[in-house]
Amino acid sequence: MRVGVEVGGTFTDLVAIDGDRVTISKVPSTPSAPDEGALAAITAAEIALAEVTDLVHGSTVATNAILERKGARIAFVVTQGFRDLLLLQRHNRRQIYDLFYAKPVPVVSRADTIEVPERIDAKGQVATALDAAAAKAAIDAVLARGDYQAVAVCLLNAYANPTHEQALGEMLRADHPDLTVTLSHEVTREFREYERASTTTLAAYVQPVIDRYLGRFETALRGQGFKGRFSMMQSNGGRLPAAGMSRNAITALFSGPAAGVMGAVRQAGQSGYRDLITFDMGGTSTDVCLVADGKPALADETEVDGLPIRTPVLDIVTVGAGGGSIVWVDDGGLLRVGPRSAGAEPGPACYGRGGTEPAITDAHVARGTLRPAAFLGGRMSVDPTAAETALAPVAETLKTTPEGLAADAIRLAESNIVGAIRLVSTARGRDPRDYVLVPFGGAGPLHAARIAEELDIATICVPPNAGVLSAYGLLAADFVQYGTRTRRMTVETDTPDTVREVFAELAVEATTQFAELGLDAPRFDHALAMRYVGQAFEVLVELPDASLPSLTADKLLDLFNEAHARVFEFDDSRVNKAEIVSFRLGAAAPPGAVPALSEAADADAVEVGEVRIYDDGAWVDAKRLSRRHVAKGAAGPALIEDVTSTVYLPAGWRAAIDDCDNLILTRT
């Protein structure tokens, strides 16, 4: 048996696959103790942990530690003269018209920053040798002042030559074995000093938190008889054994959204769809990602609370539009949705847990697109009166009815999601009309058709058990690690030989790491960050696997010019030379055969019936069906229900179940 448990902001989802049998559970999250919610989901599914061979987990623990500033107290070691690196940051202003704008506050204070005498230049040559005695004295003096849990080390140009960092790391681990030591070259070996320093300090900040969390969770699992493999999902779309997360927990920041994308890729791929826009709408937010030819787009950098993190992550755009997003009126009298959310505690008003502000879930209940009797297959009670009561004050302010307000709020949330999808498609040089929309999460299928209409997308693929697809994605994900290396060079005739040499070095490192974690030998993906000489930022150029042995300078330039033109709609190849800035090697090993997701064996079959839905300013009659009733096709308007989600099929759309148990919606 294989089990995936994903802790979200509102619900904790579980998918267990044992042969052809699929078991699911969905329970409210416990934000104060996410592992308790995960264990509750296992209990609700009545799973005997002794029978589980593979358990994969995803959570927001690392992200919450940064957002809530509840990470470890850390000391920060830098090259002499660079004490204010984290405070200076960059000279750009994120809100140029905000007179009270302040730069993001780093997670380590200036008083906890330690300067050590050493200097390595940008070519990796030692300019000033490390004074080990002076460094030890400076570090010990600061560490003696407080209760530190971790030390981050980021020396100037250590990406080019890490020998001084390695020496400091050995000294710190020998003298202070109780501290977590994070070295910048072990986290990211790329240039741009501020981004590298920010990434290193954040990695050190969350590492003790993740170590404690995983240790506590794994102990609880072992106490209930679990003897299988325990893995954690990463932001890059792959997972790692828990032991691997002890080296670089910063990769676990966005594990939930990444798992959903991988589940969508796997399940939609069963039906032959490889160009996708995934759309994950849960209780707190909506995450969208573009997938081209079966590969999710990767970004080299992300940020949390305004602080940059330089590590490969799935290129996911998040907006505050979820089922728990609050519906409100701003000071100018305009209707707003989110980004504030009711979350799991107290949740939307209709949950009956003390929530009084109206949320998108309340709006769906009020307009009839979410039946209380069908919520979580009828396993969770929903109060429609409480939903209308919460909506009434806002409706009165805007001089409309509760159902009218509900419809307006839902369309506004959909407009926000459309904007996010355009960021990952149109803004990246991709036409959304060329893609299939894959909605999931508890609320995604309710909004998919209207969003597709806005983007002129003709086909929607709704996976079975869409409300827990992220938990399935945990099981479908490969074991993945990325290695990066900054090494600048202009593209000349002999450059491909150097490219092959650098990738060979990275491949040896990755193969060694996989062997240490007990994983199979990985396969590799190769990519280069390139730009024209004089440009400030790079575009990513993926190298097809078969092209590397025969790669030539001309072929490399062609690939770069194509990538540059796709993003910026022009290339400058006849004027400027191109240069390589950084190398990125992805290493992946499959977890073994994972069956496709299917409808849960205990799914409740909803009898055919009628419902009334408020849409386009009027109440309309619609059919009420279960997925099992749509095998041969159905026309809108209709609600199609399963245990974990509801699909709204408006007029002008048809639905049918294909051979892979996916629900395919097409515009007529």
Task: Output the average pLDDT for the chain.
Answer: 90
Closest Cα to residue 610, out of 646, 637, 644, 647? 637
d(CA 156, CA 162): 10
pLDDT band at 502 (very low <50, low <70, confident <90, very high): very high
And the tokens for 225? Answer: 């008889």
- Per-residue pLDDT, 508: 95
Give residues with Cβ within 8 angstroms of 442, minimum separation 6.
11, 26, 281, 282, 283, 323, 467, 644, 645
Residue 402 has pLDDT above 80, yes or no: yes
C-alpha–C-alpha distance, residues 185 and 200, integer Å: 9
**For residue 14, pLDDT beyond 50:** yes
List phi, psi (to 5°) of 35: -65, -30
Please determine, for residue 452, whether its predicted confidence score (pLDDT) is greater than 70.
yes
Distance of CA 471 to the CA centre of its chain: 13
Report d(CA 383, CA 295) in Å as an integer. 42
Structure tokens at 312: 């490969």
233 pLDDT higher than 90: yes
Mean pLDDT of 615-631: 87
Determine how many CB atoms are found less than 10 A away from the CB of residue 60. Answer: 22
- Please, which pLDDT band fits residue 602 given cuts at 50, 70 and 90? very low
With CA atoms as reference, report the closest residue to 124 among 95, 173, 149, 158: 158
With a CB cutoff of 8 Å and minimum separation 6, the contacts of 391 are 327, 358, 362, 363, 366, 402, 405, 406
What φ, ψ does residue 481 adopt, rounded to 5°? Answer: -140, 150
Give the residue among 128, 137, 134 at the shortest CA–CA distance from 163.
128
486 φ, ψ to 5°? -85, 125
d(CA 631, CA 625): 11
Confidence of residue 420 (pLDDT cuts 50, 70, 90): very high
Helix (H) or strand (E) holding 11: strand 11-18
Please say whether the dihedral angle defined by the alpha carbons of residues 260, 339, 406 and 604, taken in this order, is positive or negative: positive
- The residue to which tokens 């003096």 are assigned: 141
Mean pLDDT of 571-587: 86
Query: Rounded CA gap, 138 and 143, in Å?
Result: 9
Is the pLDDT at 605 greater than 60, yes or no? no
The CB density around residue 393, as the number of other CB atoms within 10 Å, is 15
Helix, strand, or coil here: 615?
A: strand
The letter for the amino acid at 327 is V
At 607, the pLDDT band (50, 70, 90 cuts) reads low
Residue 457, number of CB atoms within 10 A of its CB = 22
Average pLDDT of span 479-489: 93
d(CA 32, CA 180): 24
Partners of 325 in beta bridges: 341
- The whole-number pLDDT of residue 408 equals 95
Q: How confident is the model at residue 301 (pLDDT cuts 50, 70, 90)?
A: confident
Single out the residue of 449, 438, 467, 473 nearest to residue 233, CA to CA: 473
Q: Going by C-beta distance under 8 Å and a sequence separation of 6 or more, which residues neighbour residue 105?
A: none
For range 652-668, the mean pLDDT: 92
* Cβ neighbour number for residue 151 with a 10 Å cutoff: 26
HEC assignment per residue over 392-446: HHHHHHCCCCHHHHHHHHHHHHHHHHHHHHHHHCHHHCCCHHHCEEEEECCCHHH
Q: Do the beta carbons of residue 438 and residue 279 sit within 8 Å?
A: yes
The reported pLDDT for the residue numbered 377 is 62
Rg of the chain on CA atoms, in Å = 26
The confidence score (pLDDT) of residue 288 equals: 94
> How far apart, in whole angstroms, are the C-alpha atoms of residue 290 and residue 310?
20
Q: Is the peptide bond before 177 cis (omega within 30 degrees of 0)?
A: no
Given the DSSP bridges, would you call strands 295-296 and 307-309 parallel, antiparallel or unpaired?
Answer: unpaired
Give the model's pLDDT for residue 600.
55
> Mean pLDDT across the stretch 97-120?
92
Q: State the pLDDT confidence band at 606, using cuts at 50, 70 and 90.
A: low
Residue 302 clears pLDDT 80, i.e. is over it: yes
As to burial, measured by CB atoms within 10 angstroms (0-12 exposed, 13-18 middle, 19+ buried), residue 180 is: buried
Predicted confidence (pLDDT) at residue 376 exceeds the cutoff of 70: no
pTM: 0.88
pLDDT for the residue 99? 86
**DSSP single-letter state for residue 84:** T
Distance CA 566, CA 290 (A): 15
**How does pLDDT run across 252-285, given as a tens digit for each residue?**
888 888 999 999 999 999 999 999 999 999 877 8
Q: At what angle do helices 402-424 and 360-367 cross, to 10 degrees?
A: 130
pLDDT at 548: 87
CA 347 – CA 323 distance, rounded (Å): 9
Number of Cα atoms under 13 Å in the Cβ half of residue 466:
33
The residues, any chain, with a CB within 8 Å of residue 510's CB and separated by 6 or more, are 481, 483, 522, 524, 585, 587
* pLDDT, mean of residues 59-77: 88
DSSP 96: T
Which of 79, 88, 84 has its CA nearest to residue 138? 79
How far from each other are the two terminal CA atoms of the chain, in whole angstroms? 42
DSSP reduced 3-state for 275? coil
Helix (H) or strand (E) holding 497: helix 495-516
Query: Residues 36-42: what's their mean pLDDT?
Result: 90
Tally Cβ neighbours within 10 Å of residue 489: 13
Closest listed residue to residue 448, CA positions, set 154, 174, 645 = 645
